[in-house]
């Protein structure tokens, strides 16, 4: 199942379920990453319904998402349908790029990072928040067991069992963030962990300049 299909099907309940699953902490996780972004023009990559809009302050936001049903619920005026791996923007037009809970759903992280690097101005920054398995072996095993139980139950209760089983499997799709972002075109400036067992991470990436 393609990630675009998953999020199109659960668009109207996605943010509400996220709020419940994160025990109301998802906004704080986004805020911790946005705080590292410079002022100016920011691309919200995988903006969805606009859950991060309130955190951007006076920045000029362009919201991009491949899911039309998600994007239709986003109140941001500047909305663009598109993919992170092929951004429909000229070189160096953004001061910052933000992305929350998107990278593990991309078809190609290297391609998306190359595109983020391209559209950032020299010296610009990107901030990414996403989910990963905890670092320690026993916490990782316990977390995997937990999501294998909790997410299918959530899927069944919301009438979306296949979609939430996909979300469980996506947590094992990528390497840890220090590996994922450590060898890309952007310098890994900061990495921190949040949430139970540190299963949420934030990274700040910088374009040379």
Cα torsion for 51, 38, 108, 129, to the nearest 10°? -50
Of the candidates 101, 142, 141, 97, the residue with the CA atom closest to the CA atom of residue 117: 97
Least confident of 96-100, 109-113, 136-140: 136-140
43 Cβ contact list (under 8 Å, min separation 6): 62, 64, 87, 89, 94, 96, 97, 98, 119
pLDDT value at 66 more than 70? yes
pLDDT in tens, 115-167: 999 999 999 999 999 988 777 677 767 766 666 667 666 666 566 666 666 66
Structure tokens at 156: 């069944």
**Are the CB atoms for 123 and 39 separated by under 8 Å?**
no
Predicted pLDDT of residue 100:
95
Least confident of 1-10, 83-92, 112-121, 139-148: 1-10
pLDDT value at 192 more than 80? yes
């Amino acid at each position: 199942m393609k990630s675009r299909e998953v999020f199109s099907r659960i668009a109207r309940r996605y943010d509400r379920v996220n709020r419940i699953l994160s025990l109301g902490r998802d906004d704080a996780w986004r805020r911790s990453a946005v705080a590292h972004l410079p002022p100016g023009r920011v691309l919200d990559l995988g903006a969805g319904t606009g859950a991060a809009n309130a955190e951007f302050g006076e920045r000029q936001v362009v919201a991009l998402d491949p899911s039309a049903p998600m994007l239709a619920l986003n109140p941001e005026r500047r909305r663009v349908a598109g993919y992170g791996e092929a951004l429909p923007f000229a070189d160096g037009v953004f001061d910052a790029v933000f992305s929350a809970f998107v990278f593990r759903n991309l078809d190609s992280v290297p391609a998306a990072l190359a595109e983020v690097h391209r559209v950032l101005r020299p010296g610009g920054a990107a901030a990414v928040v996403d989910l990963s398995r905890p670092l320690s072996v026993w916490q990782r095993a316990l977390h995997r067991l937990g999501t294998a139980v909790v997410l299918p139950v959530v899927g069944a209760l919301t009438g979306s069992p296949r979609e939430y089983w996909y979300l469980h499997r996506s947590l094992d799709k990528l390497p840890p963030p220090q590996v994922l972002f450590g060898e890309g075109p952007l310098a890994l400036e900061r990495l921190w962990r949040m949430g139970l067992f540190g299963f949420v991470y934030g990274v700040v990436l910088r374009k040379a300049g």
